[in-house]
Amino acid sequence: NNTNVPDFILTGLSDSEEVQMALFTLFLLIYLITMLGNVGMILIIRLDLQLHTPMYFFLTHLSFIDFSYSTVITPKTLANLLTSNYISFMGCFAQMFFFVFLGAAECFLLSSMAYDRYVAICSPLHYPVIMSKRLCRALVTGPYVISFINSFVNVVWMSRLHFCDSNVVRHFFCDTSPILALSCTDTYDIEIMIYILAGSTLMVSLITISASYVSILSTILKINSTSGKQKALSTCASHLLGVTIFYGTMIFTYLKPRKSYSLGRDQVASVFYTIVIPMLNPLIYSLRNKEVKNALIRVMQRIWYFLGL
């Protein structure tokens, strides 16, 4: 233990009690929608046999990650808005571990989903053979394993920091940038390591996604019929929208030097990708998806029949 600080104080998002209550109500509503949306998506996919395909297999894990991602941050944020802002040293680094782990896992899982869409559009006749159960499991297991190692290395290095003078974290959760800013020792080597880990995670996943969509776009442009092009585009639209929102905020927040860290600006971005995006994903993938809507109707009909309604 290289610190004299037994716990940390999270400054939160505001000192005003009125603003805190408004944020508590808003975040609680968002969290309930997030839980309902992601758990509901998982149950619908599991209960409807017509959705037992690779695309929805990946979507199940995306919902699980979003559910977990939000749960790592939001409940503690809600508690801090009502009570004290204290978090233990171990609790802070545990939160950081799962935050980094789940964030990286979502990056790589979105890459797996992009590859799935690439095979579906560019090699539709070979899709059932290429996207076998074995490959699908590998494309899901890989992101979890790589992200676990990434997060473990990140937290081990961060835990070696010294905190001598202050224990006030200028953020509403234990993120890497405000913890680095709090340290009273030289953090240059750790910053470089974190920048490499975060940058490689974003770049590898983004390159995979970009290469997949370049091939997809090239294939779509070769389709003669307008309806065929629209159908192909509709299978990618939800994923592409989710990727754009997620990566946009992540790159804005993390791929920049520590000196450019801004409490207000970075907190707004952090609220968006830690609390709002996990709520948006199930909405993005369901509202524009007729298969999910039809599956929901079938599941509800089965429930009503079972209950004798």
260 lies in a domain? yes
End-to-end CA distance of the chain: 60
3 lies in a domain? no
Q: How far is CA 195 from the centre of its chain?
A: 19
Average pLDDT, the chain: 85
pLDDT of residue 144: 96
Residue 179 predicted with pLDDT over 50: yes
1 lies in a domain? no
Helix or strand (DSSP H, E) at 86 = strand 86-88
Output the pTM of the full model: 0.88
Name the band, by pLDDT with cuts 50, 70 and 90, for residue 223.
Answer: confident
pLDDT tens, position by position, 229-253: 787 777 787 888 888 888 887 777 6
303 lies in a domain? yes
204 lies in a domain? yes
pLDDT of residue 256: 57
Residue 1 predicted with pLDDT over 50: no
83 lies in a domain? yes
Name the DSSP class of 213: H
Residue 9 predicted with pLDDT over 50: yes
2 lies in a domain? no
Going by C-alpha positions, the residue among 309, 127, 158 that lies closest to residue 235 is: 127
Q: What is the 3-state secondary structure (H, E, C) of 133-192?
A: HHHHHHHHHHHHHHHHHHHHHHHHHHCCCCCCCCCEECCCCCCHHHHHHHCCCCCHHHHH
> Rounded mean pLDDT of 54-68?
94
Q: What is the DSSP string of 15-62?
A: S-HHHHHHHHHHHHHHHHHHHHHHHHHHHHHHH-GGG-SHHHHHHHHH
pLDDT of residue 167: 83
Query: How many angstroms separate the Cα of 251 from the Cα of each of 36, 107, 151, 174, 273?
Result: 28, 12, 18, 18, 11
- Domain range for 230: 8-307
- Residue 85's SS3 state is coil
CB 213 within 8 A of CB 239: no
Give how many domains the chain has, as a whole number.
Answer: 1
CATH number at residue 100: 1.20.1070.10
Which stretch of 114-118, 150-154, 265-269 has the lowest confidence by average pLDDT?
265-269
pLDDT of residue 293: 79
> Rounded mean pLDDT of 139-152?
95
149 lies in a domain? yes
Whole-number percent of the chain with pLDDT over 70: 92
At 26, list the tokens: 């808003």
In the block, which residue shows the tokens 């799935």? 116
